[in-house]
Amino acid sequence: MQKKILIIGASGQIGTELTIKLRALYGNDNVIATDIREGSKALMLSGPFEILNATKKEAIKALLLKHQIKDVYLLAAMLSATAEKMPQKAWDLNMNSLLHVLNLAKEGLISKIFWPSSIAVFGPNSPKKDTPQYTIMEPTTVYGISKLAGERWCEYYHHKFGVDVRSLRYPGIISWKTNPGGGTTDYAVEIYHKAITNGTYTCFLKENTRLPMMFMEDAVAATVQIMSTTKSSIRIRSSYNLSAIDFTPQEIALEIKKHLPNFTIKYAPDFRQEIADSWPQTIDDSHAKKDWHWKHNFDLQNMTIEMLKNLKLKYHSTPEMQNL
């Protein structure tokens, strides 16, 4: 019998697409989506959904028992820019939800956990280029501090209690189905929307700010891959560096201009510039390549084609379609 999966934070940017992918792979009824708010129509109509507050351990436990869940994907989190505005709330959400899930696994109620970390675990003293798996960390954002602490907890629970927890340090994720919310890399999604709707975009980062990024399809593929790899291949139990592409606002704008020649960009850096400046520009993901054969598919060119094609369809379709 196919084991059941619980997604916590399913209505968010990654949660939506990961849930839909896992439903396609393992059967709609076997993937229980949960979030504090309802998600897109595609998410809500494709399988079971329950409202869940990820900071409530007993509520998570009740759902595990009700649906006989085995694997949990914990995606609920407050991202970098929002977390700077509400540090305590961000810490409580990001840490408590993880500790609840780790403890429920320790108690024998969960067999496998996926929990995302981020490039935000690195800080201004980390090497900027080809940032290695093991190096100086020292994050300077609340979000980064919570992700680094979370990584240490994951490794601790694995070594002390044998919890099978697997994690990836996601770069900025670019997608057209669901918008990101509250991140520093969000500009790389907004720019495509504005290119289509307004023909112009004002970027909150400087033109030459290089950051590691990835197309959603690759992020979902990496997540499915690490979760289906044999236990013994997962040699890193904190979180794996994961890399695909990197670019600056100026470079993505030039790529968009190839398809929309009249597109213009302006720059008005705000507090998010300091966050971006503290992060790596490129990431060395050789451990993921070696341990579970990670390989990305999308570069800036084919990602831009996909983004513009799908967003054009979305904006020029019926209101029902726009909600998908």
Name residue, tokens 């999966």.
5
Q: Nearest to residue 116, comparing CAs of 78, 63, 61, 83?
A: 78
CA geometry: angle 247, 270, 119, nearest 5 deg: 45
CA dihedral 130, 135, 138, 141 (to 10 degrees): 40
* Distance of closest approach, residue 277 Cβ to ligand AKB, in angstroms: 13
Q: Which stretch binds ligand AKB (CB under 6 A): 40-48, 114-122, 260-268, 296-304?
A: 114-122
> Judged by CB under 6 A, which of 139, 172, 249, 280 binds ligand AKB?
172
φ, ψ of residue 142 in degrees (nearest 5) = -60, -45
Radius of gyration in angstroms for the set of CA atoms belonging to the chain, rounded to a whole number: 19
Q: Which stretch binds ligand AKB (CB under 6 A): 50-58, 116-124, 232-240, 308-316?
A: 116-124
Q: What are 30's two structure tokens?
A: 């076997």
> Judged by CB under 6 A, which of 79, 163, 188, 244 binds ligand AKB?
79
> Judged by CB under 6 A, which of 11, 19, 40, 80 binds ligand AKB?
80
Nearer to ligand AKB (CB atom), residue 178 or residue 184 = 184
Cα 239 to Cα 148: distance, rounded to the nearest angstrom: 9
Query: Is 236 in contact with 290 (CB distance < 8 Å)?
Result: no
- Tally of residues, the chain: 324
Task: Say whether residue 185 binds ligand AKB (CB under 6 A).
Answer: yes
CA distances from 17 to 80, 220, 224 (A): 21, 7, 12
Q: Which stretch binds ligand AKB (CB under 6 A): 2-10, 31-39, 48-56, 115-123?
A: 115-123
Task: Say whether residue 119 binds ligand AKB (CB under 6 A).
Answer: yes
Task: Say whether residue 174 binds ligand AKB (CB under 6 A).
Answer: no
Q: Nearest to residue 237, comparing CAs of 306, 300, 161?
A: 161
* Distance of closest approach, residue 66 Cβ to ligand AKB, in angstroms: 31
Nearer to ligand AKB (CB atom), residue 103 or residue 202 = 202
Nearer to ligand AKB (CB atom), residue 157 or residue 187 = 187
Among 73, 134, 143, 157, which one carries the catalytic annotation? Answer: 143
Cα 324 to Cα 307: distance, rounded to the nearest angstrom: 15
Nearer to ligand AKB (CB atom), residue 48 or residue 132 = 132
Question: Which residue's CB comes closest to ligand AKB?
Answer: 183
* Distance of closest approach, residue 137 Cβ to ligand AKB, in angstroms: 14
* Distance of closest approach, residue 199 Cβ to ligand AKB, in angstroms: 25
Number of neighbouring beta carbons within 10 Å of residue 258 = 12
Catalytic residue at 143? yes
Site residues, ligand AKB (CB under 6 A): 79-80, 118-120, 143, 170, 172, 183-185
